[in-house]
A and B are shown apart, each in its own frame.
Chain A
């Protein structure tokens, strides 16, 4: 079988995949991306390049993906619906495919009010599910959203989407996943897992509907670097669920950074055993050098 990307190959062969996030810099210096990439080289199967995450202006995800391709590393380019309408989104997917991007993760995106340009007009012409369906039709049927035919080259993209098992109302969470699968998503990266009980509940429902056979699920892991970061994520980042038990451990720790590392390792070891989880997506904001240690220590280096 011909695989569109290394990530697709790894997941299709039933191997446990690792993806890691690289946040682009607030500036045009390519070395910032290269430095992070070299730290992570060899420890992940593909690398997410975020798209102006939390609505803060940074080097574009397409630019970042291009830099990774030049380093012979495989990007997962992220695209949000916040800053572009359907014309720009479809155009950027064609552009990305043309420079060799083979994985794209489509999300609706953080609202502009969270970022450093809260006065901006949010676009939100589409939501993530509509965008996924449009890109699937471009890839598989060769048509644009308008119905027009693609004339020279369908974008061969391995389609990613996000899922948040921890957001309310819980009852709709697996329905949303199912809609993303129906729309055309090939793989899922979940919101960072801290509440293992809740994640297990979500996975139980995923398996009972047989969805783990229809899509590759990568569980999100975020090592907590400090008590301050724990509190910011627990109390101020929408959609993140840090249970009191973990908060207390971080509070009581004499070395919170070491405790955050241990917590991440424990979570990885628990999540590895969950049936239907096909990999991990590790996000370590401003702490990229912890990722190689986590991967080695959890025995995932030679998967």
Chain B
């Protein structure tokens, strides 16, 4: 899932400056992240109204990254959108751009920061699992990804800084190399780490388009 975090409300306010506002949420990732579901959209609407910024309406796209679906859904809100001075999008960075492809003449404000592709560990707790590098090599590491989960993307890790199984840059994060080590040790597959892993082909991460 694409993990987002709502921007600081004062930053959102600063970007909006003047209403009225039309708010767009997303039914998928942003809803599960509690950044752009119905609850969050209504809570922002309430906050803005306290600041005397009017909301002309809102919609939850299903999901925001689906261009044709968005066009269809947004058509129904044509009147409310026309009355707005700003469009606040509570979706991932992709959702913001899909909306801006459709609504051309009103300024679009992103209300969230897009962080990573991650796992829902618990309600409201997410962890990075993928940086969409374009070339999955997890089979070499017990299906655990050091490219996304090691801050230095080390393929021949671990570095020398792990303390009690925690990452040197943040003691609240498990060292992914410690996880890889324990997993492979249990499977009796530590030999997998002895082979030198070649430099990664980062050109795969710069692909811009795929057509089926």
Determine if A113 and B169 form an interchain contact, defined as CB atoms under 8 angstroms apart: yes
B 147-184 to A, binary, CB cutoff 8 A, 1 in contact else 0: 00001111111111111110011000000001001100
> Given that A168-B165, A172-B193 are contacting pairs, would A130 and B199 also be in contact in the complex, using a CB cutoff of 8 Å?
yes
Residues of A within 8 A of B197 (CB): 130
With a cutoff of 8 Å between Cβ atoms, the chain B residues found around residue A82 in the complex are 152
- Point out the residue from A109, A125, A182 that lies within 8 Å of B196, measured CB to CB: A182
Contacts of B190 in A (CB 8 A): 171-172, 175
Q: Would you give the shortest CB distance from B92 to chain A, in whole angstroms?
A: 21
Contact with A along B139-152 (1 / 0, CB 8 A): 00000000000011
B198 at the interface (CB under 8 A from A): yes
Would you give the shortest CB distance from A67 to chain B, in whole angstroms?
29
A238-B168, A239-B168 given; A130·B178 CB < 8 A: no
Q: In the complex, which residues of chain A have a beta carbon less than 8 angstroms from the beta carbon of B199?
A: 86, 125-126, 130, 134, 145
Do residues A168 and B194 form an inter-chain contact, with CB atoms below 8 A? no
A residues near B160, Cβ cutoff 8 Å: 162-164, 166-167, 191, 238-239
List residues of chain B with CB within 8 A of the CB of A145. Answer: 199
Contact of A130 among B159, B165, B198 (CB under 8 A): B198
CA distance A111 to B152 in the complex (A): 7
- Of all chain B residues, which has the CB nearest A125? B202
Instruction: Identify which of A111, A114, A183 gathers the most chain B CB atoms within 10 Å of its CB.
Output: A111
Are A127 and B157 in touch, CB under 8 angstroms?
yes
A212 to B157, CA, bound (A): 22
Q: Does A129 contact B (CB under 8 A)?
A: yes
Residue of B nearest to A182 (CB): B196
Q: Note all chain B residues with C-beta closer than 8 A to A176.
A: 156, 158
Shortest C-beta distance, A229 to chain B (Å), equals 19
**Alpha-carbon distance A113/B171, docked complex (angstroms):** 13
A185 to chain B, nearest CB (A): 12
Q: Is A103 an interface residue (CB 8 A)?
A: no
Please measure, in the bound complex, the distance between the C-alpha atom of A82 and the C-alpha atom of B159, giving whole angstroms: 13
**Per-residue 0/1 for B62-84: is the Cβ within 8 Å of any A Cβ (1 yes, 0 no)?**
00000000000000000000000
Report the bound CA distance from A168 to B182 in whole Å.
11
Task: Answer whether residue A133 sits at the interface, using C-beta atoms and an 8 A cutoff.
Answer: yes
A175 touches B193 (CB 8 A): yes
Report A291 CB to chain B, min CB distance, Å: 23
Query: Is A25 positioned at the interface, with any CB of B under 8 Å from its CB?
Result: no
Q: Shortest distance in angstroms between A183's beta carbon and chain B's nearest beta carbon?
A: 6
Smallest CB–CB gap between B152 and chain A, Å?
5
User: With A114-B169, A167-B160, A167-B161 known to touch, is A175 a contact of B151 (CB < 8 Å)?
Assistant: no
Chain A nearest CB, measured from B188 CB (Å): 13
Contact B151–A169 (Cβ < 8 Å) = no
Q: A129, B158: Cβ atoms under 8 Å? A: no
Q: Which residue of A lies closest to B160 (CB)?
A: A164
B161:A130 contact, CB within 8 angstroms = no
Q: A114-B169, A125-B202, A239-B161 are in contact. Are A168 and B178 (CB under 8 A)?
A: yes
Against B, the Cβ 8 Å flags (1 = close, 0 = not) of A157-179 are 00000111011110110011011
> Given the complex, which residues of A lie within 8 Å of B164, measured CB to CB?
168
Name which of B152, B162, B193 has the most chain A CB atoms within 10 A of its CB.
Answer: B152
Nearest residue, chain A, Cβ from B191: A175
Asked whether B154 lies within 8 Å of A124 as measured between CB atoms, the reply is yes
A173 to chain B, nearest CB (A): 9
B194 touches A175 (CB 8 A): yes
With A169-B181, A172-B181, A172-B193 as contacts: A127 and B161 at CB distance below 8 Å = no
Q: A114-B169, A124-B154, A168-B178 are in contact. List 18 more A-B contacts (CB 8 A).
A: A82-B152, A108-B154, A108-B159, A109-B152, A111-B168, A126-B199, A127-B153, A127-B154, A127-B156, A167-B158, A169-B162, A172-B193, A175-B190, A183-B196, A238-B160, A238-B161, A238-B168, A239-B168
Residues of A within 8 A of B (CB): 81-82, 86, 108-109, 111, 113-114, 122, 124-130, 133-134, 145, 162-164, 166-169, 171-172, 175-176, 178-179, 182-183, 191, 238-239
3 nearest interchain CB pairs?
A164-B160, A238-B161, A238-B168
